Chains A and B, each alone.
Chain A
Amino acid sequence: MADLTTNFVGIKSPNPFWLASAPPTDKEYNVRRAFEAGWGGVVWKTLGAEGPPVVNVNGPRYGAVWGADRRLLGLNNIELITDRPLSVNLEEMTRVKKDYPDRALIASVMVPCEEDAWKEIIPRIAETGCDGFELNFGCPHGMAERGMGSAVGQVPEYIEMVTRWCKEATDLPVIVKLTPNITNILNPAQAAKDGGADAVSLINTINSITSVNLDSMSPEPMIDGKGTHGGYCGPAVKPIALNMVAEIARSSGTRGMPISGIGGVTTWRDAAEFIALGAGNVQVCTAAMTYGFKVVQEMISGLSQWMDENGHTSVESIVGRAVPNVTDWQYLNLNHVTKARISQDDCIKCGRCFAACEDTSHQAITMSEDRVFEVQDDECVACNLCVNVCPVENCITMETLPAGMVDERTGKTVSDDYANWTTHPNNPGATAAE
């Protein structure tokens, strides 16, 4: 069996699956059970300053988006940071870390944007024996209105400043958790790096309204007739998170900075994808909230089976494997020509490909009287829409035209030379190819 142990910025854990800072890690009872179920580490639910804890609403905190068969695809929450006293959390963290020395225990922290506040709390938390810190600059609701969470995370200068304070206050690794509620993820990531952060983790939740109650005319979740935007997470946010992770992993300023990947990780495959795009480990919240702690067992067995089958001996050896293949549009090979192919053996004749192509794409699929659907190569632009709307996996596939063949749509012979937009004759700014 493949070796799943990871060493993330010096923090060791038996596998790359950590629970993200959220309700699953809110207390000793949960965390012990999570460790028993097999989780490699936890980021404890975000701690706030000493004093009266925050209060949560007493009505529904969650809204949801479902797919077919009521599968939970997206979850939205208006919960705040921990609403339990700091001292209670610290005592519990100390006990848990003592009993599970081989698991990672990270303290997530959010206090007001003042040097003393951070410098006072960090050493105090370090006494628990925790393995590192995660600075929560991401929470998009409630805390942001008080100048914390994403209110800090949206201002790169603040990120850099607070990170520096924390690095001055501790020798333990400091991970900066980023909010996706910005236009360019590179700015906060760069700020974290400049402030001396050991790593970034992303994403926190995305500002959202999941649905509107049309009887009461208020957003859900509704509290006494009113609702507010909440943080969106779960499978639906994975594509957004993957892109942000990849951008940090491939950009010159931030390349090489350790990343803890978060956002919609539900199966081993999601985790492998984050890792391939540069994450050193992953954090999970919604999948645990949907299926319970046991869900990690599939992640562990699946990742190790896939690694075994593909000869990957360690998690480290797959980190960032896909990063070199993430590029800008302008560098994609315009001489690569593909055509859709419909397998008549697999086709169940629903006609969805036809509707999609005929009404919204390039009229490249024909339908005969007895419902045989065929691709016309002289019209097919290879957009992939038919593949994506077909209900039968692998029924429609994309075939690459070999060099020397004529693309019936353009009448041009396919070349195996690489050529992209930067050299294309239609590009006014094109530089002639060498």
Chain B
Amino acid sequence: MTRHIRESGVRAGRLDTENVQANFTDLHPPYDPHEAVVAADRCYFCHDAPCMTACPTSIDIPLFIRQIATGTPDAAAKTILEQNILGGMCARVCPTETLCEEVCVRETAEGKPVEIGRLQRFATDTLMDKDVHPFERASETGKKVAVVGAGPAGLSAAHRLAMLGHNVVVFESRPKGGGLNEFGIAAYKSTNDFAQQELDWLLSIGGIEMRYGQALGDAISLPSLQQDFDAVFLGMGLSAVNALSLDGEDTANVSDAVSFISDLRQADDLTALPIGRRVVVIGGGMTAVDAGVQAKLLGAEDVTIVYRRGQSAMAASAFEQDLAQQKGVRLICNAAPVGIEGHGKLTGVTFAYTEVQGGKLVTTDETFTLPADQLFKAIGQTLGDMPEALTLAGRKISVDDAGQTNVPGVWAGGDCASGGDDLTVTAVAEGRDAAMDIHATLMGAN
């Protein structure tokens, strides 16, 4: 049905099934065993390795790579999963170019790091394909912990708590778990329904009860959780989005990039997903790139990402910027939106060039209009409504190093909590560390 490709408006079926499938295959395809051994061979087994320090979950990277090199990928997987139970997802989605691989000594030596992310995927896939769960629960402690949110932070906390012998109930507002692993991550990073597979595999440790469709602030309240459980962990992520505050923002086909991506991730048939011919994305982070690239892969003819500051200030990594450009997405920097055109039917977006004056970003009088039949806003997610008792730090729940909030017995981690980057791997680390602190507190060690 390629006849739609040059039709204006927001339409389904711009590309046929075959092309869409080809477009949405793995961004970083899995290694075969031979490739994995060749790649593993490049690791120098550094002492006090920089990659390990750069990983927010501190995976023992030299050790797991050596375990791959010596033909024991299962042992490698265990080394990874001991530190990061979502090591499979992180292998797919971590911006390794700004984490472990950035500091790899072979990046220094040859400008070509050991491909840690793909090696991690090889190890975790090998183990998970055998449907082996390498951890066992400790004997039951009789303690009950409530976890709010089934995203990376909540799942990481739940797994660690269950492993330590506590009984965990996870309250998740959506009908499905995984958080942004399921609803946010670009489709070409998590193929073959990996988020749900990983969730099922994680839950196979036992001791975790999932309650879907139950939202804090709606069916449940913080005081009720505090009453029914020995401890509470909040991992609700960022459920609200920022607005542009422009007239016409409610025009049809102006929407949040995150809901577009979420629809895309939940679509059974990507050819049935409508996409514009000329798509504009506003923002400069990972979400903007993911929305722009996926719009292009669905068959949009022109996709432009417009960012208000200079390219070096973009939150999306250089790798992601390259990816966008390689897929044919145009990048315009130093321009901010000033008008949504087309009275009730989107026809374009007007931008003004920006400048930094006296340390402040200001718009100039020079403007341009990009024709558009679809506009995605990717200007940041923010905290949804929070229980009143919680103290905020800026726009996040204030927590200490151990993840404790100001309310005794209540911990928080992941995107909703202060500190750390908004990344899957950081959410996993914070969930795990809060679980360790909850455990210490419940068992009387704190």
Question: Given A69-B42, A291-B45, A292-B47, A298–B63 Cβ distance below 8 Å?
Answer: yes
For residue B181, CB closer than 8 A to chain A, the reply is no
In the assembled complex, the Cα of A267 lies from the Cα of B45 at a distance in Å of: 13
Contact B72 A69 (CB under 8 A): no
Contact A302 B67 (CB under 8 A): yes
In the assembled complex, the Cα of A115 lies from the Cα of B244 at a distance in Å of: 93
Chain B residues touching A, range: 10 to 19
Which A residue's beta carbon lies closest to that of B67?
Answer: A298
For residue B71, CB closer than 8 A to chain A, the reply is yes
- Interface 1/0s, chain A 253-270, versus B by CB < 8 A? 000000000000001110
Residue from B42, B69, B72, B78 having most chain A Cβ neighbours under 10 A: B72
Contact B72 A294 (CB under 8 A): no
For residue A350, CB closer than 8 A to chain B, the reply is no
Which A residue's beta carbon lies closest to that of B41?
Answer: A69
- Specify which chain B residues have a CB less than 8 angstroms from the CB of A306 in the assembled complex: 72
- Specify which chain B residues have a CB less than 8 angstroms from the CB of A302 in the assembled complex: 67, 70-72, 75
- Specify which chain A residues have a CB less than 8 angstroms from the CB of B37 in the assembled complex: 393
For residue B34, CB closer than 8 A to chain A, the reply is yes
B13-53 with Cβ < 8 A to chain A: 34, 37, 41-42, 45, 47
In the assembled complex, the Cα of A294 lies from the Cα of B63 at a distance in Å of: 8
In the assembled complex, the Cα of A387 lies from the Cα of B391 at a distance in Å of: 67
B68-94 with Cβ < 8 A to chain A: 69-72, 74-75, 78-79
Question: Given A292-B47, A301-B78, A392-B34, A268–B70 Cβ distance below 8 Å?
Answer: yes
For residue B144, CB closer than 8 A to chain A, the reply is no
Contact A393 B42 (CB under 8 A): no
Which A residue's beta carbon lies closest to that of B34?
Answer: A393
- Specify which chain B residues have a CB less than 8 angstroms from the CB of A267 in the assembled complex: 66, 69-70
Chain A residues touching B, range: 10 to 19
Contact A305 B34 (CB under 8 A): no
- Specify which chain A residues have a CB less than 8 angstroms from the CB of B79 in the assembled complex: 301
In the assembled complex, the Cα of A85 lies from the Cα of B66 at a distance in Å of: 38
In the assembled complex, the Cα of A295 lies from the Cα of B47 at a distance in Å of: 10
- Specify which chain B residues have a CB less than 8 angstroms from the CB of A269 in the assembled complex: 70-71
Nearest Cβ on chain B to A283's Cβ, whole angstroms: 19
Nearest Cβ on chain B to A71's Cβ, whole angstroms: 8
Nearest Cβ on chain A to B88's Cβ, whole angstroms: 19
Nearest Cβ on chain A to B131's Cβ, whole angstroms: 16
For residue A184, CB closer than 8 A to chain B, the reply is no
Which B residue's beta carbon lies closest to that of A294?
Answer: B63
Nearest Cβ on chain A to B198's Cβ, whole angstroms: 22
In the assembled complex, the Cα of A362 lies from the Cα of B67 at a distance in Å of: 39
- Specify which chain A residues have a CB less than 8 angstroms from the CB of B45 in the assembled complex: 291-292, 294-295
Which B residue's beta carbon lies closest to that of A304?
Answer: B75
Which B residue's beta carbon lies closest to that of A302?
Answer: B72
Contact B67 A301 (CB under 8 A): yes
For residue A297, CB closer than 8 A to chain B, the reply is yes
Nearest Cβ on chain B to A30's Cβ, whole angstroms: 14
Nearest Cβ on chain A to B412's Cβ, whole angstroms: 34
Which B residue's beta carbon lies closest to that of A309?
Answer: B74
Contact of B72 among A268, A292, A295 (CB under 8 A): A268
Question: Given A294-B63, A298-B63, A305–B47 Cβ distance below 8 Å?
Answer: no
Which B residue's beta carbon lies closest to that of A266?
Answer: B70
Contact A298 B70 (CB under 8 A): yes
- Interface 1/0s, chain A 284-313, versus B by CB < 8 A? 000000011011011001100110000000
In the assembled complex, the Cα of A188 lies from the Cα of B79 at a distance in Å of: 43
Contact of B75 among A292, A294, A295, A301 (CB under 8 A): A301
Residue from B41, B69, B75, B79 having most chain A Cβ neighbours under 10 A: B75
- Specify which chain A residues have a CB less than 8 angstroms from the CB of B67 in the assembled complex: 298, 301-302
- Specify which chain A residues have a CB less than 8 angstroms from the CB of B42 in the assembled complex: 69
In the assembled complex, the Cα of A269 lies from the Cα of B78 at a distance in Å of: 19
Contact A305 B41 (CB under 8 A): no
In the assembled complex, the Cα of A292 lies from the Cα of B44 at a distance in Å of: 11
Which B residue's beta carbon lies closest to that of A68?
Answer: B41
In the assembled complex, the Cα of A393 lies from the Cα of B34 at a distance in Å of: 8
In the assembled complex, the Cα of A392 lies from the Cα of B79 at a distance in Å of: 28
Nearest Cβ on chain A to B38's Cβ, whole angstroms: 10
Give 19 A-B contacts (CB < 8 Å), ordered by A residue: A69-B41, A267-B69, A269-B71, A294-B45, A294-B47, A295-B66, A297-B63, A298-B67, A298-B70, A298-B72, A301-B67, A301-B75, A302-B67, A302-B70, A302-B72, A305-B72, A305-B74, A306-B72, A393-B37
Q: A291-B45, A305-B72 given. 5 additional CB < 8 A pairs?
A: A267-B70, A269-B70, A302-B72, A305-B75, A393-B34
